[in-house]
Structure 1
Amino acid sequence: MRFKDGSIVIEPLAAHHDRASFTCSNETLDHYIREQAGQDTRRGIARVFVAVAVDDPHRILGFFTLSATSVTALHLPVEVAKRLPRHPVPAALLGRLAVDRSVAGCGLGGILLADAVKRTLVAAQTLAAAVIVVDPIGDAAQSFYANHGFRSLEGPERRMFLMLSARGFKR
C-alpha cells in the first residue's frame, strides 16, 4: 500500500486523536505518544504533528515532534562549520518520528520527514535555524535519515544534521 495524494492529513496533535491505539516498533516512542506528547504540547516543549487518514481522522498513523535547539559549530563538518559562526548554531530538533506498525513500509516515514522539513523551512523564515538535527534510534533509523540527505555530526552521539536549504533534503 502506498499513500495517494490527499489520502492523509498531517496536523497538530489534538484531543480527538486516539493516542492509545498507536503501536510502532519502539516502546519508548509508543509511550511518548500515549503518555507524554500532550503534556509536551501544552508546556511548549515540543510541537507534535500526527498523520491521519482522511477517512479515519482519529487514528494516528504516524507522528513527529519539532522543537528548537542548537548545535555546537565544532561538531559540524569543517566544510559546513567554516561558513558559520563559532558560537552555538540555531537548529530545529526533529525529536521523534514514528510510524504505526499497520502502515510500516508504505512510505509514510518519508512523507512525515518531508513535512517536518517543510514546516521547519517555513519557521526558519521567522525564527533562525541553520540546520535540522535528529537523534536516530538504531541503525535502521540512521540509515533512513542518511538516505534522505542527513549527515553525521562529529562527536560521541549518533546525532545527524541536514542543512536547511532546498538542496539539502532528498525525497
Structure 2
Amino acid sequence: MSRTTDYLPPKLLEKGFDRTAFDCGIEPLNEYLRKYALQNQKRDAARTYVVVDPDDRILGYYTLVFGAVEPDDVPDSISSGLGRYQIPIILIARLAVDLSEKGKGLGGFLMREAFLRTIQAAEIAGLRAVMVEAKDENARAFYEKVGFRRSPSDQFKLFLNISDIRKNLDV
C-alpha cells in the first residue's frame, strides 16, 4: 500500500528542479509550483519542500508559512488556556502529489515530513497548532483522517494541536 520508504527526503525547492512536468490534477496547485513557489521563497514569504525522483522531477510538495489566528476561529481544544490572544500557527499552505504517485502513500509521507519540520520550528518559536485550508471535501476528508479538526467558523479550515503531533510522532 505505502511506498514511503522509497521516497527521498524532501528538499527545499531549488531552481534546478523540474517544475514543468508536475501535475496533481488541480491547476491552481500546479500553477503555484510552476510560477510562484520559488518567488515566494526568495521573498521569505513561504518555504516549499519537494520530493523528487533521481532525475529531479517533482513528485510532490508542501508549502509552509507562519501565521496567527483569532481564538474564535479554532476548536476549543486549541484555544483553551490562551485567553483572547491570537494563536500562533504554522499553515500548510499547499500540499500536492503528482498524479503518477496518487495512492502510493506520498501524501501521508509529505504530511509527516511537514509535521517534523513544524516540531522543529516549535522548538524555536511558540506554535500552538498546524492549520490547513482544504480546497474541497476530498482534501478535508484526507486532513480529518490525519486528525485535523474543523474550525467552528469555517468547515474548510482545519487545525491540529502541536501537542497531538508530538504524541503521534513520539517526539
Common fold, TM-score beyond 0.5?
yes
- Superposition TM-score, scaled by structure 1 size: 0.91
Residue 76 to residue 131, structure 1, CA distance change in 2 (3 Å): same
Runs of 4+ in 1 over 3 A off after TM superposition: none
Unaligned stretches of 5+ residues in structure 1? none
Contact 2:78 2:129 in 1 (8 A): no
Could you tell me how far apart the structure 2 residues matched to 1:39 and 1:142 are? 28
The residue number in structure 2 matching 1:78 is 76
* Native 8 Å contact 2:3 2:104 kept in 1: yes
Structure whose residues are more often helix by fraction: 2
- Per-residue CA shift, 1:33-82, capped at 9, x if unaligned? 001111000001100000112x33x1000000001111111222234323
- Larger RCO, structure (CA 8 Å, separation 6 or more): 2
Q: 1:168 to 1:85 in 2, by over 3 A?
A: farther
SS at match of 2:10: strand
1:46 aligns with 2:37: no
Residue 14 of structure 1 and its aligned partner are, at CA, apart by 0.5
Q: Give the number of equivalent residue pairs.
A: 167
Q: Tell whether the 8 Å contact from 2:13 to 2:38 is kept in structure 1 after alignment.
A: yes
Render the CA deviation track for 1:140-171: whole Å, top value 9, x for unaligned. Answer: 100000000000011135110000022367xx
1: CA distance, partners of 2:26 / 2:65: 21
Q: Hey, what does 1:148 align to over in structure 2?
A: 146
Give unpaired runs (5+ residues) of structure 2.
none
1:92 alignment partner in structure 2: 90
Give the structure-2-normalised TM-score. Answer: 0.91
